Structure 1
């Protein structure tokens, strides 16, 4: 008769439970034999011979970079820390305990090395020494303690190439109270290949180095420590888009300041507006930088140079406006230099044609005559005095009243006539005086306009000259900054 399936399952379950119960009982007995006797104490180093040092194998695996604070010069990292050592009081024969070779136990029940992070910047080291995790204990006495930890450690930020910088951040671990005679770290391992990607920083690698230090407080004692150096490089795209490109565009706006006509009245206002904009961006950069005088970031130097150039351009604009609005006669040497030499070099057309400022020829095409008018204030008064004297002589002199003489005098010029002055002659004199007055006014205005045009031409030449200087300075500045960025040197320049 074949057994039924439920019976087979019942027998199998019974055998399995018997093994589990047996294994559980053996584990309890093992833990009791190891910890409930007077032979083990978590307060004593786990060595039978007191002169034997505890050799700790230290492994550090980088999980992620949470934050890098340039202002306070700290780095926050999440790591997986593993320490391995041998506890001579935790050895047993697996055959006596149903072949149990490994068990896990809370870290609060075992002795732990007093390993601390020397350059920790926040909190205490309780998380490193008393993190409650399960520890793996093997039959040969080897103990494996692992824990995920978050450290805020000191990191000296080299801001010279900010934001195109590469940083080296150290994490220094070691025993706080035990020297190399009691606790040593002969083997160490570091790995950052499994790190989670960070949007701001790129991890280049992490290496560990063992150092032996002897301090002045404790002569004759050597304290070993492990220094893990993390190399990271900043991703500059965010800063290029939000800080570098706006600064370059604002700097380019200063070139428009030279192209803007002087008559617009907005040249100085544009320069001051650009200067204020750069100052605001400069404050944004300064807020993220540490208050140190050791280095000036390359971005800050770029802003400082740009601010200097914009300030210089505003000063040059004021000088150009001063030349544009001058009214007194221009020195001859200035005409030769600016309107002659510089205007040709800079390819600027300056109207150097000068009209006569003191003589106007009024043409009378109907008769083919020209009257030359000299705008002298004394000419009108002398003419009037001469004509009055001629009138007095004609009234008392010979030949008065003869028709042929009178007709001849009407055809003679006004200033050579000896007959009486008629009402037509007086009207002619008034017209002549008015024309001379207008001619004088127009001559003065023409002379003034010529002077203004000359000064405006000099201002135009100076504006173009300053624009060329500004463009050359901007190109040189960008080239120097670019060469410094392309040096690819993460360390401070010598």
Structure 2
């Protein structure tokens, strides 16, 4: 066997390298010739990753564009979006000459190529978007795969500040089977570019608007290996106008009406009937608007707490009105106000609600039953009667003389005066206790009125602050 010359060796190495690069040889610059050449080159190799060796990872570049925000299901904790997913990778060793084959890119059926198994980890339903049967193949070996996706993904929603809430939902893209040593996910467009493009093409958003997009590259590690992933954070902000107009404003109107109902006289029956009508109307309003409120088992929205407290205040004001009305009409039958109620309500609470505290009365009540003068007077009358009888008595026991008319009249007048004084004393004591009970009702009424004002003011301030904070996040 003859010696191989250096020039021949160089030519053989060049031919081997040229064959390894697998540059396509088109017979003519026509689509038919290029397709035939691609079939001869691609079809035998579509079963494996297009890399030189198994130890090399294949880089998959990914970019997404948010086209539509179909809705958020608070009860199921899911987000439905429409995306454009763009994947790019390179087939090692594939290239062709533009002049020889007539083009720099060609669309080929997806079945002709090996395609990566990139999925979204948070998917909850099967993708029902229309399929795209073609991909772009460039003369440098790069594959450009662009397809629409309807994604129903899980999202942990935080609805405490509903309807001024901002949701942060993640979409994690990665290979389902291939480890990070086989497929490595690479970020394509920047977050700012994707946000700008998404806002330009956004078609459907409903009550939500796209506030921001963030990107992060992560690695999922399990027992058998690790997976390369790209995580996109879709930040959404709810438009609160619908809920403010349909929920908050009518509720505030009803609460304001209940607040002004305190201007009605407490002893009027119309006040209690007016408050009862308001409670009935508010309950019907909540039942009608129940479908607009989010339903979830993890958190209770602040708006639901507001509605519950408002209804509780309305019921409390109705009970307080019933209590005051009962005092107005039946306070004369009550006993004296207990000492602890007098100290707590008439002194401290009255000072708290800016009412003049009631001072204890200096008037001394005289009880005729315990007066020392009455037994003395009765004893003197009895002694006079006995003396008259003893003076007129004789040993012979003459017939009894008729009673002195003056003495009878004096006894009758004494009994009448005692009854009158006792009645006057009871009446004065009843008036005093009745006034105390009426003052208790006035203090409680004023206290509930102040609580109403504080609650409404705090609610309005909280709603305005949350709304302003929500706008600052979306700005």
Do these two structures clear the TM 0.5 threshold for a shared fold by scoring above it? yes
d(CA) in 2 for partners of 1:468 and 1:77? Answer: 48
Q: Is the 1:323–1:458 Cα contact (8 Å) retained in structure 2?
A: no
Corresponding residue number in structure 1 for 2:304? 300
From 44, 47, 57, the equivalent of 2:48 is 44
- Cross-structure match for 1:203: 210
Structure 1 counterpart of 2:121, from 118, 122, 132: 118
Query: Which structure has the bigger radius of gyration?
Result: 1
Aligned equivalents of 1:144 and 1:79: distance in 2?
16
The answer to whether the 8 Å contact 1:71/1:288 transfers is no
Give per-residue Cα distances to partners, 1:240-263, cap 9 Å, x unaligned.
111111121121222244333355
Matches of 2:214 and 2:354, distance apart in 1: 61
Residue aligning to 1:153: 153
Deviates more, 1:81-90 or 1:157-166: 81-90
Is the CA contact (8 Å cut-off) linking 1:63 and 1:192 kept in structure 2? no
Counterpart CA distance in 1 for 2:152 and 2:275 is 45
Corresponding residue for residue 108 of structure 1 = 111
Q: What are structure 2's unaligned runs of at least 5 residues?
A: 1-25, 357-404, 407-423
User: 1:483: Cα distance to partner?
Assistant: 7.2
Query: CA offset at residue 61 of structure 1?
Result: 1.1
2:221 and 2:269 map into 1 onto residues whose CA distance is 72
Per the alignment, residue 386 of structure 2 pairs with none
Cα shift readout 1:398-457 (whole Å, capped 9, x = no counterpart)? xxxxxxxxxxxxxxxxx99xxxxxxxxxxxxxxxxxxxxxxxxxx9xx999979995895
1:334-377 per-residue CA deviation (whole Å, 9 max, x = no partner) reads 999869x9699559xxxxxxxxxxxxxxxxxxxxxxxxxxxxxx
* Displacement of 1:156: 1.0
CA distance in structure 2 between the aligned counterparts of 1:141 and 1:107, rounded to whole angstroms: 15
1:291 paired to 2:296 = yes
- Hey, what does 2:167 align to over in structure 1? 167
Q: Structure 1's 464 and 292: CA in aligned 2 closer, same or farther, altered over 3 A?
A: closer
- Change in 2 beyond 3 A, CA 1:257/1:478: same
Please list, as runs of the form range in 1=range in 2, the aligned pairs for 1:59-208 lying within 5 A after superposition. Answer: 59-88=63-92, 90-97=94-101, 99-124=102-127, 131-189=131-189, 190=191, 191-193=194-196, 194-195=198-199, 196=202, 198-208=205-215
Where do 1:351-430 residues align within 5 Å? none
User: Paired residue for 2:398?
Assistant: none
Contact 2:28 2:100 (8 Å CA) reproduced: no
Q: In the alignment, is the contact (CA less than 8 A) between 1:207 and 1:229 conserved in 2? A: yes
1:142-170: CA deviation from partner (whole Å, max 9, x where unpaired): 01111122211111110111111111011
Q: Secondary structure at the match of 1:229?
A: strand
Task: Supply the distance in 1 between the matched residues of 2:277 and 2:267 (Cα, whole angstroms).
Answer: 19
> Is residue 2:335 matched to residue 1:325?
no
TM-score, structure 1 as length reference: 0.64
- Check 1:23–1:29 CA distance in 2 against 1; reply closer, same or farther (3 A cut): closer
Residues 307-322 of structure 1 aligned to structure 2 (within 5 Å)? 307-322=311-326
Do the aligned residues in 1 keep the contact of 2:327 with 2:438 (CA within 8 Å)? no
Structure-2 separation of matches of 1:230 and 1:300: 27
Q: Secondary structure at the match of 2:96?
A: coil
- Matches of 1:43 and 1:131, distance apart in 2: 21
Residues 11-43 of structure 1 deviation map (CA, whole Å, 9 limit, x = unaligned): xxxxxxxxxxx9997221111111145863433
**Aligned equivalents of 1:288, 1:479: Cα separation in 2:** 19
Local SS of the residue matching 1:49: coil
Question: Between Structure 1 and Structure 2, how many residues are aligned?
Answer: 376
Instruction: Give the match for residue 350 of structure 1.
Output: none
